[in-house]
Amino acid sequence: MAAMNLPSLNLPDLDFLLIAGRAVFLVFSFFLAAVTFSAWRRATRRQTEQVLAQNQLLLEQLTDMRNTLAATAQNVTQLTERIDQPVNRAAAPHGASPGIQIAIRLARAGASGEELISGCGLTRTEAELVRRLHGPSRAELRQVS
């Protein structure tokens, strides 16, 4: 049998194939790294924008809270002044009207509410209060009767 002559294929050298494979691998790796780096930068930019937006929201809330706190402090100051004024007036019995002082003396002597109203010019509620605070107790009234 005669050897057949096959057309010779010029196969590239093995070293050439390895170098070409390395070049393709490097190009693919650089492309993959570039895509990954771009995606990473976009994600970082989005996260930074979110953090800045949250920071701005927190600053606005802090400002609102500061304003609310200032208003509350002012309200507390006003309420404290209002509370202190009646206490100061009540603590100074010297400034009480003469009608009240006369009503207190009458109540201690056992005067009725009607007598306090007509004699001292008190309202019914004031007369009852003076009589309860300064009048004789019920036990004392029973002993007198």
| Mean pLDDT, rounded, for 64-89 | 86
CA 124 – CA 55 distance, rounded (Å): 63
Are 135 and 143 contacting, i.e. CB atoms less than 8 angstroms apart?
A: no
Question: pLDDT over 90 for what percent of the chain?
Answer: 46
Q: Single out the residue of 102, 96, 103 nearest to residue 129, CA to CA.
A: 103
The yes-or-no verdict on residue 142 having pLDDT over 90 is no
Select the more confidently predicted residue: 59 or 92: 59
Among the residue ranges 1-10, 20-29, 63-72, the one predicted with the least confidence is: 1-10
Band of pLDDT at residue 6, cut at 50, 70 and 90: low
What is the pLDDT at residue 121?
Answer: 84
Evaluated on CA atoms 43, 48, 54, 56, the torsion sign reads: negative
Tokens in use for 58? 């927190």
Q: Which range has the top average pLDDT, 3-7, 22-26, 81-85?
A: 22-26
